[in-house]
Amino acid sequence: MMKIRLMESSAVAGSTFAVETVGLTKRYPMAWKRKILVALDHLDLQIKPGEVYGLLGPNGSGKSTTLKLLLGLIVPSDGEARVFGLPPDSLEARRRVGFLPENPYFYAFLNGDETLHFYGKLCGVTGPALKKRVDELIDLVGLQNGRERPLRSYSKGMLQRIGLAQALIHDPDLLFLDEPTAGVDPLGSVQIRDLILRLKKMGKTVIFSSHLLEQVQEVADRVAIFSLGKKVLEGSLESLLTENHGTQIHLSSELDAAGQERVRKLLGQAGIADGAVRFSRPHLSLEQLYLRTVQGGVGSTTKDSNSP
């Protein structure tokens, strides 16, 4: 899966932020209703090179608008954005940026190979270097069976994967991924998650939006939660998710009733009231169960509460 050669990001050594915004605002005038829609309201962001940053929020909260502004696809109504210290719409900035849009549709008449060659040429990658890069990326995203097939016959998951490959074609320092796991099966999602982690190890900066909170939790260094065009919460996952009013003890083996009683007594001696102690068995998430089943090759077994 991970055979691709990814160059060390030169930006990591730099002192500037990979992405910096000050009071970034986007307003859309709605002439007919005599109203102004504020899609993004005074966003301040500072994302360091090499960071994996998650954008969370419901639909219409401003995540995609933020990405479009950072790519220079739309012009801010107010405020400023910089990508590696450069204006986002400059060619220099775009040479260092890769983008996967939400629910991407590429040229349906091209096959996988042609699509990557087209985007590669646009980025100035040509000749044997381009051919090698295409081979690497096809291998990376697991689309060997889609090389010769036209994109109109691709599934949603395959489109997402070819989209990811085109975003990486010029080996960018910064990746914007808008819902990268939308429409991808859980196994594919894990592969994308692993790819983000791999990119992070290579010093790349990744900014992505996702509705799959568990995945964000697994890869992001920091997250921002958006609501109605405003950033309402930001921080590292460690600081945001740690609750300061409890302690968890993890045991890798089962503790019977007698054992639980002994632990209660020990904790009681440490001044912890009996009612403050709770014992439960660890639970898998449905995604973990699915992956364990599919990847572990478990057959069609059934398990329910009545099973012996």
Partner 1 sequence: MMSSLYRIIVIGRNTLTESLRQKVLSVLLIFSLVLVCCSVYFSGIATPGLDAAGLFDEQIKFVKDFGCGAIGLFGFAIALLSTAQLIPQELQTRTIYTILAKPVRRSEFLLGKFFGIVLLLALCVALMSLAFVGTLYWQEWQGIALVQNVYGYGTPSWHADSISVGQYNHEIDLIDTQVRDPQLIEAVLLIFAKLVMTSGIALLISTFSTSTIFTIVTTFMIYLIGHLESTAREVWLGRGAETSIWQSGLLGFISLLIPDMNSFTIVDEILSGNHVPWSHALNLLAYANVYLIILLALSIVIFDYREL
Among candidates 119, 122, 198, which has minimal Cα distance to 165?
119
**Helix (H) or strand (E) run with residue 55 in it:** strand 52-56
Spatial contact of 22 and 188, defined as CB atoms under 8 Å apart: no
Spatial contact of 66 and 55, defined as CB atoms under 8 Å apart: yes
How many residues in the shown chain lie near partner 1 by CB under 8 A? 31
Write out the binding residues for partner 1, residues 138-167 only, by CB under 8 A. 163, 166
**Binding characters for partner 1, 160-199, by CB under 8 A (x = yes):** ---x--x---x-----x-----------------------
Tokens of 152: 């109109």
Single-letter amino acid, residue 271: G
Q: What's the rounded Cα separation, in Å, for the pair 51 and 268?
A: 44
Tokens of 81: 């954005």
94 near partner 1, judged by CB under 8 A: yes
- Among residues 103 and 217, whose Cβ is nearest to partner 1? 103
**3-state SS, residue 98:** strand
Judged by CB under 8 A, the stretch of 11-19, 116-124, 217-225, 251-259 that binds partner 1 is 116-124
CB of 300 to partner 1, least distance (A): 40
- The C-alpha R_g of the chain, in whole angstroms, comes to 23
For the packed helices 156-168 and 112-122, what is the interaxial angle rounded to 10 degrees?
A: 30
Write out the binding residues for partner 1, residues 20-59 only, by CB under 8 A. 28
Single-letter amino acid, residue 73: L
Identify the residue among 24, 43, 97, 199 touching partner 1 (CB under 8 A): 97
Judged by CB under 8 A, the stretch of 3-11, 87-95, 208-216, 269-277 that binds partner 1 is 87-95
95 near partner 1, judged by CB under 8 A: yes
Judged by CB under 8 A, the stretch of 91-99, 131-139, 231-239, 270-278 that binds partner 1 is 91-99
Q: Which residues bind partner 1 (CB under 8 A)?
A: 28, 68, 71-75, 91, 94-95, 97-99, 101, 103-107, 109-110, 118-119, 121-124, 163, 166, 170, 176
